[in-house]
Amino acid sequence: MSVVVSPPTAPSWLVEVPLAHRGLHEAGVPENSLPAFRAAAEAGYGVELDVFLSRDDVPVILHDASLARMTGTDVRIGQLTAAQLAEIRLDGTDAHIPTLAQSLSVLRDVPVMVELKQPRLRSGKLEYRTAAVLDAHDGPHCVASFNPVAVRWFRRHRPDTIRVLTASPLADAKLPAAIRTRLAELRDLPSVAPHAISYDLDGLPTPATDAWRARGGPLIAWTAVGEDGLRRGRELADNVIFEHVRP
């Protein structure tokens, strides 16, 4: 089991405002698009979104490292510049792959969880470039990642930024068993010192998350899908990242 530490004080919005998973998306409104972000903001929800770097080191929004699922173009996001990515349509609509700066411009007043897609075991340009964009954003926001290295970078270089450690049982992940256990059991809490934990709803509850909550640590469940998922998420956590339902 993880070493349980007392969490830093989290802002109230982190548990009070549900987060739309990749925006408020539906047929004709693609995930992680400006229309999905606008819809969430207009409905009063926060947003969880995903950040990669383009070839020219611009933080851009997409969940997958490959463009294939959302665009039909079989190329990795890091192979194209932000300008090239802006020309590619999402899921057959007029929406394009936005930059983080563009996304934040339509999410000025609602909470934003910026999940860093950092596959390496060391920090680098992704954290630095993302932080530079967030420095200019006055709205409520936090950074999150499965990778404790990415969250730890913010603890060291942007200590005032709200940090969230994302985790799950990771049973199917292509990782050594020891690393899967370390992540699932939140063993990096002491070094990351997150303000909240975001944990896979399908894996809740766990001894590690129960111990975290017993210390007053906020727990966010992802992803609460539909009414049943929303109900279960609210039973087991303090807030939810949701889709295909309106909290």
Read off the pLDDT of residues 62-115 as tens digits, 9 standing for 90 and up. Answer: 999 999 999 999 999 999 999 999 999 999 999 999 999 999 999 999 999 999
Residue 13 corresponds to which amino acid? W
Query: What is the reported pLDDT for 1?
Result: 47
pTM of this prediction?
A: 0.95
Residue spans of the domains in the chain: they are 1-17+112-247
CA 100 to CA 62: how far, in whole Å? Answer: 10
C-alpha–C-alpha distance, residues 227 and 247, integer Å: 8
Mean pLDDT by 10 residues, the chain (247 residues): 73 98 96 98 98 98 97 95 96 97 97 92 89 98 94 97 93 72 90 96 96 96 97 98 96
For the 1-17+112-247 domain, the top CATH level (class) is: alpha beta
List C-alpha distances in Å: 212 to 6, 79, 189, 199, 206: 8, 40, 9, 12, 10
Which residues, 6+ apart, have CB-to-CB distance to 43 below 8 Å?
20, 24, 246
Whole-number Å distance between alpha carbons of 128 and 158: 10
pLDDT of residue 175: 67
pLDDT number for residue 174 = 66
pLDDT, position 183: 86
Predicted confidence at residue 193, as pLDDT, reads: 96
